[in-house]
Amino acid sequence: MALPLAISALSLTQPREPRSVQHVDVYKVAGRYGGWPANHGIWAWGNEILAGFEAGYFKDSQAGHSIDYSRPAEHLLARSLDGGATWTIERPADLKPPPGAQQAGVPGEAGGRPVTESPGDIPFTHPDFVFTARMASIHVGPSRFYYSTDRGHTWKGPFALPDMGTPGIAARTDYLVDGPKTMTIFLTAAKANQKEGRVIAARTTDGGKTWARLAYLHDEPSGNEFGIMPSSVRLSPTSILTAVRYRRFIETYRSDDNGSSWQHVARAVPDTGRGNPPGLVKLKDGRLVITYGYRAEPYGIRARISKDEGKTWDDEVALRSDGGTWDLGYTRTVQRPDGKLVTVYYYNVGNTERFIGATIWQP
């Protein structure tokens, strides 16, 4: 699928360094594979930050992800109480996958609860509310969600996410709370051939009991191209901007009728190497920051900044460029009270274990 570059300012110059940068190990265990924070989510309450990720076992692979697909992975949380400087790892039994479930081909721990229908009336505006969505197959799901009202210490679920009239839903965590019982969620739907994917917006107005599809964000990609793994911010009560991962680049789409229709805005990132999902965040001063893994040499984590709601994007910022292989990225970012950003991702140096890292930087 050919898309215009639209009005985005793309640059082939070398990425610049951030004004200040600090790298922190969040989860790093010899022989383990820490991966994919973008799938699980990140949340913040001032300097308290919570991030989800998956922890499997490292198994070197020259072709795919270096995770052992025969051994069960844990679904873990990392919590910082000091703005990302130090982290503790939590192992909530409530987030274990349902019995027999795999996530993207990796088996989960035993002991999870079965998926049930949501009772609704979930208090989305509770000050300590968090929500996470998970899938089985990356193509057709099925998908489920969990929520917490105590900052992720305990969780309810898993509850079923419907297919919403699509060939199947592969859910990751991307949502906007709109009111006490109203939430807009962004999901990857399978294409007509039951392969990933195409991004849709959906909404609940009864606290998660029922969900209705609002619209597809873009046309169905042709051939082996896909549009998957959205990351969204609200620009106004009626305007939303969503970034979407394609095979080698990142596109942005905008709705000015609260999700009912969408228009292509710009190619925010022209090349991510072997492909990586966006992590989009709106800063307190109104600027937008998009972060992503860069899966070509020099492997690393990069960012771009927009001052005009995503119409144009500044030159790349290289948060780090010391990656050992392409198997990295899946960023999520929050802003601290002091204005600095904390970007969480999975990473490797020298093709050893995959670890969860964080970079604290000044945009």
Q: Is 40 helix (H, G, I), strand (E, B) or coil?
A: helix
Task: Determine the Cα angle at 156 with ends 155 and 157, to 5°.
Answer: 120
User: In the structure encoding, which two tokens stand for residue 90, read together?
Assistant: 């939590």
pLDDT at 13: 64
Which CATH number fits the domain that encloses residue 148?
2.120.10.10
CA-closest candidate to residue 144, choices 170, 110, 165: 170
User: What is the residue whose two structure tokens read 């790298």?
Assistant: 23
Q: What is the pLDDT of residue 18?
A: 82
Mean pLDDT on 158-180: 97
Closest CA to 97 of 86, 110, 87: 110
More confident residue, 168 or 15: 168
Q: How far is the CA of 199 from the CAs of 154, 244, 256, in angstroms? A: 30, 8, 17
Which long-range contacts (C-beta less than 8 Å, at least 24 apart) are formed by 281-290? 281/233, 281/333, 281/334, 281/335, 281/341, 282/233, 282/234, 282/235, 283/335, 283/339, 283/341, 283/363, 284/335, 284/339, 287/363, 288/233, 288/241, 289/333, 289/341, 289/363, 290/231, 290/243, 290/250
> What is the model's pLDDT at position 19?
80
Which pLDDT score, from 0 to 100, does residue 351 have?
79
> 4 lies in a domain?
no
Can you give the pTM of this predicted structure?
A: 0.95
Over residues 62-85, the mean pLDDT reads: 95
CB-CB neighbours of 12 under 10 Å: 8
Asked if residue 1 is part of any domain, the answer here is: no
Flag whether 249 is in a domain. Answer: yes
Tens digits of per-residue pLDDT, 122-152? 999 999 999 999 999 999 999 999 999 999 9
Q: Is residue 3 part of a domain?
A: no
Average pLDDT of 29-55?
Answer: 98
In a domain, residue 11? The reply is: no
Percentage of the chain modeled with pLDDT above 70: 96
pLDDT per residue as tens digits for the range 113-128? 999 999 999 999 999 9
Separation CA 128–CA 237 (nearest Å) = 22
Q: Is residue 14 part of a domain?
A: no
The answer to whether residue 12 is domain-embedded is no
Q: Which of 55, 49, 281 is nearest to 152 (CA)?
A: 49
In which domain, by residue range, is 36 found?
Answer: 23-361
The tokens describing 281, both together, are: 């965040």
Q: Give the burial class of 47: count Cβ atoms within 10 A of its Cβ; 0-12 exposed, 13-18 middle, 19 or more buried.
A: middle
What six digits make up the tokens of 191? 């294409």
Q: pLDDT, tens digit, for every residue of 213-222?
A: 999 999 999 9
Give the span between the Cα atoms of 91 and 3, in whole angstroms. 42
pLDDT by residue (tens digit) across 314-341?
999 999 999 999 999 999 999 999 999 9
162: buried, middle or exposed (CB in 10 Å: 19+, 13-18, 0-12)?
middle
How many degrees, rounded to 5, is the angle at CA 113 between CA 107 and CA 118? Answer: 115
- Structural domains in the chain (count): 1
Residue 17 lies in a domain: no
Scanning the structure block, which residue is given the tokens 């800063």? 283
Q: Which tens digits make up the pLDDT trace of 260-315?
A: 999 999 999 999 999 999 999 999 999 999 999 999 999 999 999 999 999 999 99
Q: What is the mean pLDDT of residues 86-101?
A: 96
Spatial distance between the Cα atoms of 176 and 173, rounded to a whole number of angstroms: 10
Q: What is the mean pLDDT of the chain?
A: 95
Q: What is the DSSP string of 68-90?
A: -TTSPBEEEEEEESSTTSS-EEE
